[in-house]
Chains A and B, each alone.
Chain A
Amino acid sequence: MSGTSAFLEGLKAGLGEFVPMWALWLGSALISVAIALGLISLIAMFSVWLERKVAGHIQCRYGPMYVGWHGWLQSIADGVKLLLKEDLIPRDADRVLFMLAPALVLAAIVGAMAAYPLAPGILFADIDLGLFFIIAMSSMTTIGVVMAGWASNSKWTIYGSMREAAQVVAYEIPLGVSLLVPVMVAGTLNLREASAAQADFFGMGWFMFKNPFMLPAFLLFLVAALAETKRAPFDLPEAESELVAGFMTEYSGIRWSFFFMEEYAAMFLMSAIGAVFFLGGFESPLTHLAGQLFGRDLVVVGAGPEFAFTAINWGALVYQLVAGGTLLVKSFLGIFLMMWLRWTLPRIRIDQVMTMGYKYLTPLALVCVLGAALWEAGWQALVRS
């Protein structure tokens, strides 16, 4: 049973007599949005700090050191600064679209966050099409970016947004197709179920090791995810040496920071998808051990006669935390990889980006899908015979 519905059931059991069901539903939805937004802000702040530290240490310096221990409060200080900055809207800009674009970008990424499983039993929404939902929602941000570029009424921003549109269209295909490989093995698009399917071999039954076509698919996914999240070496939409700041050139203050938050949240979600569909998701030997020791189900439904749920297995909370932490660590390892690449590699040119996406990644991803499908079919035929 998913977290939200269990939460709703609990609320219904406790408050059902006093509050109508729709109000409970709305209330829990609002709380979920608030939590998702808070989570995105936290992830973005931590990632910005991490990025600066990683960049610093790669470049023979320390990065932020003054605000707090090793500058850990730097992101908060920057956030306050951004809130206090003047909110500039260029005179010739399309005011409505200009103001709408960052909001759309942020809304899309908060929506995508809904499918992120915090822990096996603690979710915002247990969506059966979770993967599809995340990819669809994070593609929505592209509309916001193109909108921002157009509304700013500047040539540089137009360049940025056209590049973004071209790049995302080119890389959406290999991204989706390379994700089909683990989806085919898992037989589900649900992130929680896909993760649970990797629990064998003491939590090391990762999809990565289950099929010889999985490793190339993972590499293709990595490259496509970099392009999808506008990260170096594919950071052409905001290539600062070419386009000043690309589509963000005219933005300042808190609106600018919305784009920034979106970038880091998108990085996080892409890493999380990669972690769930290739690297075992919640599963690791440690998760396995915690599951064995404390049990896995947080809420034991129908354990008593009086309520919809009566027993909460508090011990399973340890398991849930370990599982959630495992996914978080794996996601941040993905983010670290993206940062590492960014501060090491030069930028690719736009025609090279297009060539790579259409001529190499897409055919290779299709080959991977075909190979994995044949392999799975052969494997199952072998098992059945």
Chain B
Amino acid sequence: MSDPTAASIVGAPPAHQPTETGGPTDAGLPANGRQEKPRGLLGDAWRDLRRKPLFWISAAFILLFIVMAAFPSLFTSADPTAGELSRSLEKPSGHAWFGYDIQGRDVFARTIYGANASIVVALLSVLGTLLIGGAMGMIAGFRGGWLDALLSRIADVFFGLPFVLGAIVILTTFNGTGTNNSEWEVKGLVIASLVVLSWPVVMRLMRSSVLATKEADYIVAARALGAGTGRIILKHLLPNTLAPILVYGTIMVGSFIGAEATLSFLGVGLKSPVVSWGIIINEAQSLIRVAPHLLFFPAAFLVAAVLSFVMLGEAVREALDPKLR
């Protein structure tokens, strides 16, 4: 009986010791002091993320895809565009892991090389959408009044355009048959059309988030303590409104990889000989009964990439919410 009691008495003092000795020994422990610097939102979110397996798994996959996009030659020595018709529709083998497509091109190499277009287009469009939509939403929500009305109506106009139709119109105008755009110009056009047609969603999300947050007592308190407008927006509003935007952003990466594939599939986005997952899937879908592996492998990569970004989004959202810590 007396043992647990004794243990708890012995166990208690160490917890209190820092309190009693904290003040006087403060100066004597510079090494300890360094560790205890005031931490910010991102510092704490990072500490939290480091403990999550979900984060590490998705981050590893994303890193893999990014390396794949940047240095495809690390993964394969085959040429994704060199076709040899004698190998047309060959099954996967030790030599070509994913087999050959109808034109006798190495599907593994094509899938690896396809990551570049898909991921670059998706990431840059998400970045652009978040920046434009986020800034517009912040201005509209924070300023209010006529500026809010004006920006919201502009957003409504763009929101009213059907996504696929809008992208087709933009891309056939600037990237129609007969135009001779380089690969990067086409990528830029695809990115631009995705951004132009998607920013209103982020803008609305941000605006409502700002509207809900800017009336909060801590924003009023920050004003009452003399914080400037810039500081209030960047330090107090933004961190409290960021979480839904970031989550939406990571989900958007996935859907933009799909959107890029859709536009390529419709023939208005990237075009062969440029390789992207959308183009590969497009070419494979008509052969699905003859050679399902042509569709399966690039589609699996697409799904894995989309899933990784969504999982990362979930992990980031949890880490950014202090109440879940």
A and B associate in one complex: no
Chain A contacts to B: CB under 8 angstroms:
none
